Chains A and B, each alone.
Chain A
């Protein structure tokens, strides 16, 4: 371990029906004139947040889609600038949260989103973002990242800065009970991928390890429960917590080759992030096994069996697509996907130094 750092800057709150007291929490934080950012499919959940703080929300942007794109970020920012908002209220899954976070860059710094690519480019606080996740998977409510699709380059761009960390996260399990089986499963696997990849990452440290393992425990114990009974509020709460813990872990430890390949699949072939992770996780783990045997042993003790076997067994219960060919990826896309994955920042914290040929082979195994 060359260097380790850990910090939690988001005020994280969790509770049943907590969203209904949003006005109080926003008031305590001195946040006024918010733009609600959401997607049309969960407008009813966003409306609940708006009804809870009607005087503090002055507009709504609800055109975010999965794998949200640069154009949506810039539209969000334009609307926020027109309304002269003081904060962004993101209610939704990972794409919504990341759109709001990336929009905060444009609102604060001006220009277009692509003008702000880089690392350590953002040097001052951004317009604050309050994050209310409606899925249990992204972890974006506490991370320093925003991943946005560049439609022109057909790739995913990762923006990274301590200033991207939301100021407040509200984990309300009642907002996640309506998730359908596939979304619950794919976002749950996204959280598991965050936890496992953070744990075996070259950037892992004692703080991230503790959080990652707690997240693994929470997900393995409660994902099967919520898949059987989506109305189990207690298990939904545990999943939100586990997802958040995994987010805290990978915010500092970063992720690895599964995310690098998954970002490539999302960018080039528009595969939803959680689905791509679900398909690629067992293959990425198997590939990494030789490079992190000690960490695998810790996971084996924690999971009760070989980590790859446990992940495969869990996936078999979920009913998600199991092959890249089932989600619109063509065999001829594999080399281009591998090239994109090799350029993704996540590949640099992978425990095994990957080559292009090896990543093609992993993708082929998952195809």
Chain B
């Protein structure tokens, strides 16, 4: 059974993580520095989240998070099963291994994504809290 029953549940979980990141003084500025529009396309449930670190965000945010389809051309698109995303944000999935195994698809200049990897480390700590609060299953090592 998929971790997320509906797209709303996914937006409420992964979307909340991204929105937290957009206001986090440690993570936010580093993503902003990347100056990219990154689209995450998820399957089961079908959903997408776009992180816009290129255009000016609302006051108090370092970047804008769009939940659901938005008319914005991405620099990089990451596509994966929603369950894979859940495992990834628990810090239990190596990005390069996931790419090698075809669990993730990255379209665009992959270097720009790799550059952001060190910046997102605090999110691995935050995500399990968000998932737990919503009663979602954990991920074993």
Contacts and interface: CB of A to CB of B under 8 A. Distances in A.
Interface in A301-346: 342-345
Interface in A9-56: none
A241 interface: no
B2 interface: no
B104 interface: yes
B114 interface: yes
Interface in A276-297: none
A118 interface: yes
B110 A117 contact: yes
A120 B76 CA distance: 13
A119 B99 contact: yes
Interface string A131-174: 00000000000000000000000010100000000000000000
Contact of A118 (B102, B105, B115): B105
A82 interface: no
Contact of B105 (A2, A119, A348): A119
Nearest to A203: B100
A358 interface: no
A295 to B, nearest CB: 19
Given A117-B107, A118-B106, A119-B105, A348 B96 contact: yes
B108 A118 contact: yes
B27 to A, nearest CB: 19
Contact of A343 (B96, B106, B111): B111
Contacts of B114: 343, 345, 348
B97 A3 contact: yes
Contacts of B111: 155, 343-345
A5 interface: yes
Contact of B106 (A121, A157, A344, A349): A121
Majority DSSP secondary structure for residues of B touching A = mixed
A200 to B, nearest CB: 16
Contacts of A157: 109
Contact of A345 (B104, B105, B110): B110
A296 to B, nearest CB: 23
B99 A349 contact: no
B110 A119 contact: yes
A342 B94 CA distance: 17
B30 to A, nearest CB: 14
Contact of B96 (A5, A117, A342, A349): A349
A120 B106 CA distance: 7
Interface in B108-127: 108-111, 114-115
B137 to A, nearest CB: 22
Interface string A195-224: 000000001000000000000000000000
Given A3-B100, A3-B101, A5-B100, A121 B94 contact: no
A157 B94 CA distance: 22
B110 A2 contact: no
B88 to A, nearest CB: 14
A120 B105 contact: yes
Nearest to B102: A120
A349 B100 CA distance: 12
Contact of A121 (B97, B100, B101, B105): B105
Nearest to B99: A119
Contacts of A2: 94, 97
B118 to A, nearest CB: 10
Contacts of A120: 99, 102, 104-106
A186 B115 CA distance: 31
B81 to A, nearest CB: 13
Nearest to A3: B97
A120 B78 CA distance: 10
A119 B104 CA distance: 8
A342 B112 CA distance: 11
A343 B115 CA distance: 6
Given A120-B99, A120-B106, A344-B111, 14 more contacts: A2-B97, A3-B97, A3-B101, A5-B100, A117-B108, A119-B106, A119-B110, A121-B105, A157-B109, A343-B111, A343-B115, A345-B111, A345-B114, A348-B114
26 contacts: A2-B94, A3-B97, A3-B100, A3-B101, A5-B100, A5-B101, A117-B110, A118-B76, A118-B77, A118-B107, A118-B108, A118-B110, A119-B104, A119-B105, A119-B106, A120-B99, A120-B104, A121-B105, A121-B106, A155-B111, A157-B109, A343-B111, A343-B114, A345-B111, A348-B96, A348-B114
